A and B are shown apart, each in its own frame.
Chain A
Amino acid sequence: MTESSGFVDHAGTGRQWYDLFSRGARDWLRHNDKVRAAVRDQLPELIAGSDLLPRPDSTVQVPVRFLEHARLRLRDAQQPEGVGQGDGKPGDKLAAPTEPGAGSGAGGDGEGGFQFVLELKIDDIVDWLWEELNLPNLKVKAGAVRHDDYTREGWSRRGVRSRLDRRRSLKEAIKRRAVQRQGPAFSNDDLRYQQLALRRRPATEAVVYFAMDVSSSMTEHDRQLAKTFFFWVVQGLRRQYTHIEPVFVAHTVEAWEFAEAEFFQVTGSGGTVASTAFRKVLDIASQRYDPGRFNTYVFYASDGENFSQDHDAAAAALAELGGVANYIGYVETASRAQQPLGTATAALFEQLQAATGAAGRHALSTPESVWDAIRAFFSRPVEQAA
Chain B
Amino acid sequence: MSGSLQGYAGRLETLAHEHGLDYYPVQFEEVPSSFMMEIAVYGLPVRMPHWSFGVRYIHQLVQHRMGHSRLFEVVFPGNPGHAYLAGNNSLQENTLVTAHVLGHADFAKNNSLFKRSQEQVGYRIVERAATHARQIGGAVELYGQTRVEQVLDAALALEAHIDPFQGLRRERYPQYVDATRTARGDPFHQRFENLPGGTLLADAPLERLRTPIPPSPERDLLWFIAEYSPELEDWERDIFRAVREESFYFYPVFACQIMNEGWASYWHARLLREADFLPQNEYLDALKTHSDVVRPHAAEQQASLAINHYHLGFALWEAIVEEHGVERAFAIRAEDDDFSFVRNHLTQDLAEELKLFRYEQTNDGSVRVLDHDIHALRETVLAPKYNFGAPAVLAKHIAHDGSLTLHHQHETDGRGLDLDRAERVLDYLHKVWRRPVTLETVDSAGQPKAISRS
A-to-B contact residues, CB < 8 Å? 1-10, 16, 18-19, 22-32, 34, 66-97, 102-108, 111, 114
Asked if A79 contacts B362 (CB within 8 A), the reply is: yes
Asked if B370 contacts A29 (CB within 8 A), the reply is: no
In the complex, B330 has a CB within 8 A of chain A = no
Q: Which of B9, B37, B367 has the most CB of A within 10 A?
A: B367
Given A5-B28, A71-B390, A84-B359, 4 more pairs with CB closer than 8 A:
A66-B58, A72-B161, A82-B306, A86-B355
Per-residue CB contact flags for chain B residues 342-359 toward chain A (1 = under 8 Å, else 0) read: 000000000000111111
In the complex, B202 has a CB within 8 A of chain A = no
- Residues from chain B with a CB closer than 8 A to the CB of A77 are 415
- Residues from chain B with a CB closer than 8 A to the CB of A72 are 157-158, 161, 390-391, 393, 408, 417-418, 421-422, 425
Asked if B160 contacts A28 (CB within 8 A), the reply is: no
Residue of A nearest to B17 (CB): A4
- Residues from chain B with a CB closer than 8 A to the CB of A92 are 368-369
A354 to B103, CA, bound (A): 86
A354 to B42, CA, bound (A): 64
Within B13-68, which residues are at the interface with A (CB < 8 Å)?
A: 13, 25-32, 34-35, 37-38, 41-43, 46-47, 49-62
Asked if A5 contacts B25 (CB within 8 A), the reply is: yes
Asked if B56 contacts A108 (CB within 8 A), the reply is: yes
A79 to chain B, nearest CB (A): 5
- Residues from chain A with a CB closer than 8 A to the CB of B362 are 79
Also in contact, A82 and B417, with CB within 8 A (given A23-B49, A31-B55, A92-B368): no
A96 to B361, CA, bound (A): 8
Task: Pick the residue among B28, B47, B371, B419 that contacts A90 (CB under 8 A).
Answer: B371
In the complex, B363 has a CB within 8 A of chain A = yes
For this complex, into which size category does the number of interface residues on chain B fall? Answer: 35 or more
- Residues from chain B with a CB closer than 8 A to the CB of A91 are 368-369
Q: Is the interface of B mostly helix, strand, loop or mixed?
A: mixed
Task: Pick the residue among A30, A88, A108 that contacts B359 (CB under 8 A).
Answer: A88
B-to-A contact residues, CB < 8 Å? 1, 6, 9, 13, 25-32, 34-35, 37-38, 41-43, 46-47, 49-62, 80, 145, 153, 156-161, 257, 296-298, 301-308, 354-363, 365-372, 377, 380-381, 383-384, 389-391, 393, 408, 413-419, 421-422, 424-425, 428, 444
Asked if B360 contacts A70 (CB within 8 A), the reply is: no
B307 to chain A, nearest CB (A): 5
Q: 5 closest A-B pairs (Cβ-Cβ)?
A: A103-B306, A86-B303, A27-B54, A24-B57, A28-B54
- Residues from chain A with a CB closer than 8 A to the CB of B298 are 84-86
Also in contact, A1 and B80, with CB within 8 A (given A86-B301, A86-B303, A114-B59): yes
Asked if B25 contacts A76 (CB within 8 A), the reply is: no
- Residues from chain B with a CB closer than 8 A to the CB of A7 are 1, 6, 9, 27-30
Asked if A19 contacts B32 (CB within 8 A), the reply is: yes
- Residues from chain A with a CB closer than 8 A to the CB of B54 are 24-32
Asked if B367 contacts A90 (CB within 8 A), the reply is: no
Task: Pick the residue among A3, A8, A93 that contacts B368 (CB under 8 A).
Answer: A93
A24 to chain B, nearest CB (A): 3
- Residues from chain A with a CB closer than 8 A to the CB of B389 are 105, 107
B409 to chain A, nearest CB (A): 11
Asked if B153 contacts A4 (CB within 8 A), the reply is: no
- Residues from chain A with a CB closer than 8 A to the CB of B9 are 5, 7
Asked if A84 contacts B307 (CB within 8 A), the reply is: yes
A250 to B192, CA, bound (A): 102
Q: Which of B54, B61, B304 has the most CB of A within 10 A?
A: B54
A107 to B55, CA, bound (A): 12
Q: Is the interface of A mostly helix, strand, loop or mixed?
A: loop
Task: Pick the residue among A4, A26, A34, A111 that contacts B59 (CB under 8 A).
Answer: A111
Asked if B307 contacts A83 (CB within 8 A), the reply is: yes
Asked if B360 contacts A79 (CB within 8 A), the reply is: yes
Residue of A nearest to B40 (CB): A106
Provide a sorted-by-A list of 17 A–B residue pairs whose CB atoms are within 8 angstroms.
Answer: A5-B26, A7-B1, A7-B27, A18-B35, A23-B38, A23-B47, A31-B52, A31-B55, A68-B55, A71-B421, A72-B422, A74-B413, A74-B416, A81-B358, A85-B296, A86-B301, A105-B389
A88 to B389, CA, bound (A): 28
- Residues from chain A with a CB closer than 8 A to the CB of B370 are 81, 90
B397 to chain A, nearest CB (A): 18
A97 to B368, CA, bound (A): 12
- Residues from chain B with a CB closer than 8 A to the CB of A32 are 54
- Residues from chain B with a CB closer than 8 A to the CB of A71 are 157, 159-160, 390, 421, 425
A347 to chain B, nearest CB (A): 45
Asked if B305 contacts A102 (CB within 8 A), the reply is: yes
Task: Pick the residue among A10, A30, A89 that contacts B49 (CB under 8 A).
Answer: A30
Also in contact, A69 and B32, with CB within 8 A (given A1-B80, A8-B27, A83-B358): no
- Residues from chain A with a CB closer than 8 A to the CB of B55 are 28, 31, 66-69, 108, 111
A1 to B424, CA, bound (A): 48
Task: Pick the residue among B27, B47, B80, B307 that contacts A85 (CB under 8 A).
Answer: B307
- Residues from chain B with a CB closer than 8 A to the CB of A22 are 34, 38
Asked if A69 contacts B391 (CB within 8 A), the reply is: no
A95 to B362, CA, bound (A): 12
Q: Which of B41, B58, B60, B297 has the most CB of A within 10 A?
A: B58
Residue of B nearest to A27 (CB): B54
Also in contact, A4 and B13, with CB within 8 A (given A18-B35, A71-B157, A89-B369): yes
Task: Pick the residue among A28, A75, A85 that contacts B354 (CB under 8 A).
Answer: A85
- Residues from chain B with a CB closer than 8 A to the CB of A95 are 367
A92 to B37, CA, bound (A): 39
Asked if B59 contacts A108 (CB within 8 A), the reply is: yes
Q: Which of B29, B53, B357, B414 has the most CB of A within 10 A?
A: B357
Residue of B nearest to A19 (CB): B32
